């Protein structure tokens, strides 16, 4: 009887984690380059009250055993790395990745981080940076006197711009993309950034459109891949599962109460 109380408690805790993840997905439905998360559950240990294959007679064994489970736990939060929809913005410094790959940026402590968010800006020195001022690596520095409205970025990541008084565009840099053997193993650090872990493997660098990399789309951004409808359905299922587990606790409590009133 006590086992059922604790089993239902683990179920409620698990569904709370599920709702937490769903709410995070929904809150980031308009976050550029955001990737949906999904909670994956695992059952806990089992108590073997009778092992399968235990001898029943001299010539037979029991075909099945008796096992009592001890609830559920959150096994993982899987990141879904499917492509988000593209949105045309007309902004000269917006870049979307279509396919595999991440942009690399340099953080304030000198370490590298990776992002799918291509809503870049140009700082006071003409350098391509993120909204938080992190430099895009390899560095893209626009020359003095550049005309931002003439900025052009090809599908292969080649960056060119016209300078005041010039009719011809000049090349100013080459964007690179980075992919990972296990991209879902990257660690979210906030600000639309990911950090390398032992699970993700080391980054593999290449130019857009080469070696399995995606291509770059100028004046587009990649939207979140969260489906609001699917998340709402998942929320309903999680809510009902939470209610079922709470009912199991109430039922177990009622049965214990019945047992305590057998002797008056």
**Positions in the chain whose pLDDT score sits under 50:** none
CB 169 within 8 A of CB 183: no
> Looking at residue 60, what is its pLDDT?
83
> Looking at residue 1, what is its pLDDT?
60
> Looking at residue 261, what is its pLDDT?
87
> Looking at residue 127, what is its pLDDT?
95
What is 155-214 written as a DSSP string? TT-EEEEPBTT-SS-EEEEE--EEE-TTGGGPEEEETTEEE--TTT---EEE-TTSTT--
Going through 116-157 in order, the beta strands assigned E by DSSP cover 121-122, 128-129, 135-137, 152-153
Dist CA 131 CA 112 (whole Å): 16
Three-state SS for 131?
A: coil
Tell whether pTM > 0.85.
yes
> Looking at residue 264, what is its pLDDT?
65
> Looking at residue 202, what is its pLDDT?
96
What is 51-114 written as a DSSP string? -TT-BSSSS-B-SS-EEEE--EEEEEEEE--PPPPEEE---TTBEEEESS-BEEEE-TTS-EEE
Q: Is 167 left (phi over 0), alpha (psi -120 to 50) or beta?
A: alpha
């Amino acid at each position: 009887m006590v086992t059922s109380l604790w089993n239902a408690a683990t179920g409620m805790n698990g569904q709370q984690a599920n709702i937490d993840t769903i709410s995070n997905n929904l809150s980031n439905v308009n976050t550029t380059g955001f990737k949906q998360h999904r909670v994956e559950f695992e059952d806990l240990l089992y108590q073997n009250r009778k092992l399968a294959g235990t001898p029943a007679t001299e010539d037979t064994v029991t075909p099945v055993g008796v096992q009592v489970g001890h609830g559920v736990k959150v096994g993982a939060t899987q990141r879904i790395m499917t492509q988000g929809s593209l949105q045309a913005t007309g902004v000269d410094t917006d870049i979307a990745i279509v396919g595999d790959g991440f942009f690399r940026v340099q953080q304030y402590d000198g370490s590298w981080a990776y992002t799918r968010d291509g809503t870049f800006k140009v700082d006071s020195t003409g350098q391509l940076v993120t909204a938080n001022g992190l430099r895009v690596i390899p560095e893209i520095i626009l020359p003095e006197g550049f005309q931002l409205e003439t900025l052009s970025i090809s599908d292969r990541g080649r960056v060119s711009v016209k300078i005041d008084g010039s009719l011809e565009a000049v090349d100013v840099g080459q964007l690179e993309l980075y992919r990972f053997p296990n991209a879902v193993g990257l660690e979210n650090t906030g600000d639309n950034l990911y950090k390398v872990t032992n699970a993700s493997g080391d980054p593999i660098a290449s130019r857009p459109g080469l070696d399995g990399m995606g291509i770059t789309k100028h004046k587009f951004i990649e939207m979140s891949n969260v489906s609001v409808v699917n998340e709402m359905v998942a929320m309903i299922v999680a809510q009902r599962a939470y209610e079922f587990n709470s009912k199991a606790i109430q039922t177990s409590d009622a049965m214990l109460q019945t047992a305590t009133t057998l002797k008056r």
